[in-house]
Every structure is written in structure tokens, then in C-alpha cells.
């Protein structure tokens, strides 16, 4: 199977590595990251990926048919170690930039991950916000991965 893929908040490429291990290949592979060290590693591992830069400057409508978008947006405002500003925080609020791009690209599938704090941040408003996308025709499923499960995949 070959798809057009967009990897947002790419980091060093955890999502794309999993997708490749699942046997999926790319017609087009785009990525968005701003950390220069993460980008260097990403480009080294995925030299054919097309760099889009800062998520806030991406025009999703300009991208050709995207089949899958993945993202793991910043967790600092959701984490129990942070100030717990939720999706209203300046960093975790970048979630809405990813949603903007999803609305522009209209991929049949998008997958995102974040810390458990998303479920309880800002009095539960974080998870309520993610559930709102069911109204757009998307299937929304939420799972908390237990530590024992993580060890099985390490």
C-alpha cells in the first residue's frame, strides 16, 4: 500500500517509523518540525521526506490528497509536571493548528497521541475538545496505554 502521508510535530520520526514497520510505503511524505536537532535526525532517517517547517505556516489546502496525518503535539500544558493550562496553553494549544490542517486536508484517517493529562486537564475540557471532532464525521477513540503494554512494544 502506498499513501500520501503528513507527519506533524514530527520529532525524530516515531510515528513514521511505526507506519513503515507496518509495511506502508509513501507516494509523498511530508513532515513538520521546528527543532533543528530533531529535524537533522529525521532527515537522516527519512531523506525523501518533504520538510514543511513551522505548523503555523502550513497551508493544508496546497497539499495534494493526504491519506493519513499523524501528530503528537506538545504536552507541556497537559502534563502533571506542568502548569496544567490544558489546550488553552501556548504550547499544547498547537493542537488546534493540527486540527486546522486536518480540516484543510480532509484525510480519511488521522491519529494523534499525548499524555494522560489530556483526559483530565482543565477540568476535563481537553478530552471534551477532542470528542468534538466526532461531529465532523471522524471516529474518535481514546485509549490510555498502561506501562505494562508499553514494555511489550519496547
Please write the tens of the pLDDT for every residue from 60-93. Answer: 999 989 999 988 765 555 556 656 655 655 565 5
For residue range 96-136, what is the model confidence (pLDDT) as tens digits?
788 889 889 989 888 877 656 566 555 555 555 666 666 55
pLDDT of residue 97: 84
Taken in order of first residue, the domains within the chain and their CATH numbers are 2-153 (3.40.50.150)
Task: Tell which residue, 77, 134, 81, 84, has the closest CA to residue 110.
Answer: 134
Provide the CA 131 distance to its chain's centre, in angstroms: 16
* Alpha-carbon separation of residue 27 from 8, 59, 65, 110 (angstroms): 17, 19, 11, 17
Active site residues: 75
Q: Is 114 helix (H, G, I), strand (E, B) or coil?
A: coil
Amino acid at each position: 500500500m502506498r499513501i500520501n502521508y503528513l507527519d506533524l510535530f514530527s520529532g525524530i520520526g516515531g510515528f513514521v517509523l511505526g507506519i513503515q514497520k507496518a509495511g506502508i510505503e509513501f507516494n509523498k511524505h511530508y513532515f513538520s518540525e521546528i527543532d533543528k536537532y530533531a529535524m537533522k535526525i529525521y532527515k537522516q532517517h527519512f531523506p525523501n521526506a518533504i520538510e514543511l517547517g513551522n505548523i503555523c505556516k502550513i497551508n493544508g489546502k496546497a497539499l495534494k490528497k493526504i491519506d493519513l496525518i499523524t501528530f503528537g503535539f506538545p504536552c507541556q500544558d497537559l502534563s502533571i509536571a506542568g502548569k496544567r493550562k490544558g489546550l488553552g496553553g501556548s504550547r499544547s494549544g498547537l493542537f488546534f493548528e493540527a486540527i486546522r490542517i486536518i480540516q484543510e486536508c480532509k484525510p480519511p484517517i488521522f491519529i494523534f497521541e499525548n499524555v494522560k493529562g489530556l483526559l483530565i486537564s482543565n477540568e476535563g475540557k481537553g478530552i471534551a475538545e477532542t470528542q468534538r471532532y466526532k461531529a465532523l464525521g471522524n471516529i474518535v477513540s481514546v485509549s490510555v496505554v498502561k506501562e505494562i503494554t508499553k514494555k511489550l512494544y519496547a
